[in-house]
Structure 1
Amino acid sequence: MTEHLSIPTPAGSFDAIAAGPADGRPVLLLHGFPEAAVSWEYQVAVLGNRGFRAVAPDQRGYSPGVRPTTVAEYGIGELVGDVLAIADELGWRRFDLVGHDWGGAVAWWTAVEHPDRLRSLNVVSTPHPGALGEALRTDEDQQLRSQYMRDWREGSTERRMLADNAEAIRRMFEWRVGQSRVDEYIQRLSEPGALTAALNWYRASRPAGEIGKVEVPTLYVWSTEDVAFGSTAAFATEQWVSGAYSFQMLEDVSHWVPEEVPEVLTGVILEHLSGR
C-alpha cells in the first residue's frame, strides 16, 4: 500500500509517496517536468511489494514546503543536495537511484559526484549530461529538440503554458498519459508560484566545465519516440559510464516512459536491481 510522507530537511519538508518495509533495500525515484512524485506511483507500489523500500519525493519547487523564490536556488548543487538530504533523513547510507527527465539529470550528477552513496543508477530518457552537451554542440537534430529549454527561460512562459486551460502543457504529454493524471499535474502547477519554481530548473545556471564519468552500475532506458532526446546523445551515453552498463531501447514509446509503459519499465528496473 502506498504511503504519503513528509520528509524534513534543512531546505524544508518534501512531500513523498512510499511503499515497502522500513528495512527494505532503499530506492529513491526522482520525477521530471511537468510531473510530480505520482508519476512513479506504479513503480513505487511494485517495488514495495517486492520488498524494497521505495520513496518518490515531489522535488524542489514541486513540494510546497521547499519552494524557494530565487532562480539560483535551483542549481544542480542544490538539487543534488536535496537527494542526499532526503536519503540522510531516511537513514539511507547507500541506495539505488532512479530518475526520469529532470530527475534523470539530477541522478546523473549525483552518481558522478557521490558514487559512494549509490548502489546503482537507473536513468530513464535523459542521456548523460556529457553526451547531451556534445550532441548540443555537434548534432543539429538535438539542437532543434532542445530549443524548448531556451524558450522556457523567458519570463512569459508561465502565462503561455497555463493559457486556454493549460493547453500547452496538455500537448506536451502527446495524449500518452491519462487525462486525470495530467489534470492533477496542471492543478499542482496552477498553485501560486509552483510553475515558476518548476521552470526555474531550466532558468538556473549550470555547472561550468566537463562532467565526469559514472563508475556505479548504470541502467539507461531510452525510447525511440522521445521528442526531447535523440539517438545521438542516447547512443553516446555508454562512453560516459566506466562501470557496468546496461542500455535498454524501447521501440514506439514516447518520452513519458514511466506512465506510458509502467509494467515494461518496472520489469527492466527490477532486473537491473536484482543483479546488484
Structure 2
Amino acid sequence: MDQLHPTYAPFASRRVTVRGVDYAFTDTGNSGFPVLLLHGWPDDRSIWRHQLPYLQSQGFRVISVDWIGHGESAIPTDTRRYRISELGADTIALLDTLQLDRVHLIAHDYGATVSWETVANHPTRFSSYCALSVGHTVEILQDIATGHLLRYLWLILHGMDRASRYWYLSNEAQRFRHKFAAHPDAERILEKLTHGGDTTFWTIWEKANPSYDAIYRHFFTEQRQKRITVPTLGLYSREDEWMTEGQLARSYKHVDASWRYESMRGGHWVQLERPDEVNAILGSWLAQVEPC
C-alpha cells in the first residue's frame, strides 16, 4: 500500500466500501458545507495537502479521496472497473455512503475528466464544480483533431504499460525527470514507479478509457446531450506541460450555468507549485457560489 506524502500525515485516513471496493479518504469532519477534492494522474489525495487545511480554515468540511488503483485505496484487477462511468458511479455512491446531499466539487487532471461527466449526469448532487487543468472531453478531442495530436501522444503511450515505463525510465529516467520537472513530488512518484510494487496507477486511466471509447460515448450515445447545469470554474496554468489551454477555455460551450475562467502562471500540478495563489482563487470561487 502506498504511503501518502509525509506532510499529509496530520490528517487521519479513513476507509469506506463503495460499490464493492475499498476507498481511502480524508474527512476533516467539521460541520461546514462539504467540499470534495478529486486528484488525477499519477497522484493520490495528498496532492491537495495545501488546499485541505486552507479550505478547512475557511469553514468548509473537506473530503479528499484516493481513486482506486492509487494511494491507499484498493487496486481492482479488472480494468473495466476504472472506466470513467464506473468512477462517476463511485463518486455518487461515496456521497450516499457519507450521507452528503450536495457538495462543492474540485477536481484535477483525470479527476476532472471523471467529474465533467459526473456533474452532467447528477447535477443535483453538486453546488458547484471547479476543473483544474483539464476541460470537457469533447474539447480535448477537438484539440487532437485540429492540429494538436503531437501534444497528446502521451495518451497513446500511456496505454502501453511496458513501453510507457521503458520510455520514461530509460537512460536513468531522463525523460521522466524532464517531463516531471515541475512536479514537486516527482522523486516520490519515480520511487513508486521503479520500486513501489504495483504500478497500476501509471497506465490504468488510458487502458480503461481509450480514445475511441470517449469518441463513441460523447458523440453517439445520450452522453452527448448532457450539459453542465451548475456554476463552473475552469482554472488553467499557462506552463502546463501536458494540456493545451484551448481545451479548458472552450469548455464553457458545455455549461448552461455561470462560467468563470482563470489562467495563472505555473505547471500542470499548480496546486502544489503555487498553492497560495490557487487557494486564493478557490476561496474567491467558493465565496461566490456559497449555497444559501
TM-based fold match above 0.5: yes
Aligned pairs for 1:256-271 within 5 A? 256-271=269-284
Is the 8 Å Cα contact of residues 19 and 47 (structure 1) preserved in structure 2?
A: no
In structure 2, the gaps of 5 or more residues are 1-9, 219-223
Q: What is the CA distance between 1:50 and its match in structure 2? A: 1.4
Change (3 A) 1:165 1:14: farther
Aligned pairs for 1:190-205 within 5 A? 190-193=195-198, 195-205=199-209
Letter in 2 for 1:215: T
Q: What is the CA distance between 1:166 and its match in structure 2? A: 5.1
Report the RMSD for the aligned CA atoms in angstroms. Answer: 2.0
Provide the residue aligned with 1:218 in structure 2.
232
Is the 8 Å Cα contact of residues 130 and 240 (structure 1) preserved in structure 2?
A: no
The total of aligned residue pairs comes to 268
Provide the residue aligned with 2:180 in structure 1.
173
Provide the residue aligned with 2:188 in structure 1.
184
With 205-214 and 226-235 compared, the bigger mean Cα shift is at: 205-214
Partner-residue secondary structure (3-state), 1:93:
coil
Provide the residue aligned with 1:36 in structure 2.
44
With 27-36 and 196-205 compared, the bigger mean Cα shift is at: 196-205
Provide the residue aligned with 1:148 in structure 2.
154
Q: 1 CA distance for matches of 2:172 and 2:56? A: 36
Is the 8 Å Cα contact of residues 6 and 16 (structure 1) preserved in structure 2?
A: yes
Identity of aligned residues (%): 25
Q: What is the CA distance between 1:60 and its match in structure 2? A: 1.4
Partner-residue secondary structure (3-state), 2:51:
helix
Is the 8 Å Cα contact of residues 20 and 48 (structure 1) preserved in structure 2?
A: no
In structure 1, the gaps of 5 or more residues are none
Query: TM-score, with normalisation over the residues of structure 1?
Result: 0.89
Say whether 1:56 aligns with 2:64: yes
Off by >6 Å, runs of 4+ in structure 1: none
Query: TM-score, with normalisation over the residues of structure 2?
Result: 0.84
Q: What is the CA distance between 1:162 and its match in structure 2? A: 4.8
Is the 8 Å Cα contact of residues 31 and 103 (structure 1) preserved in structure 2?
A: yes
Provide the residue aligned with 2:267 in structure 1.
254
Q: What is the CA distance between 1:8 and its match in structure 2? A: 2.5
Is the 8 Å Cα contact of residues 37 and 56 (structure 1) preserved in structure 2?
A: yes
Provide the residue aligned with 2:28 in structure 1.
19
Q: 2 CA distance for matches of 1:5 and 1:161? A: 33
Is the 8 Å Cα contact of residues 43 and 71 (structure 2) preserved in structure 1?
A: no
Q: Normalized per residue, which structure has more strand?
A: 1
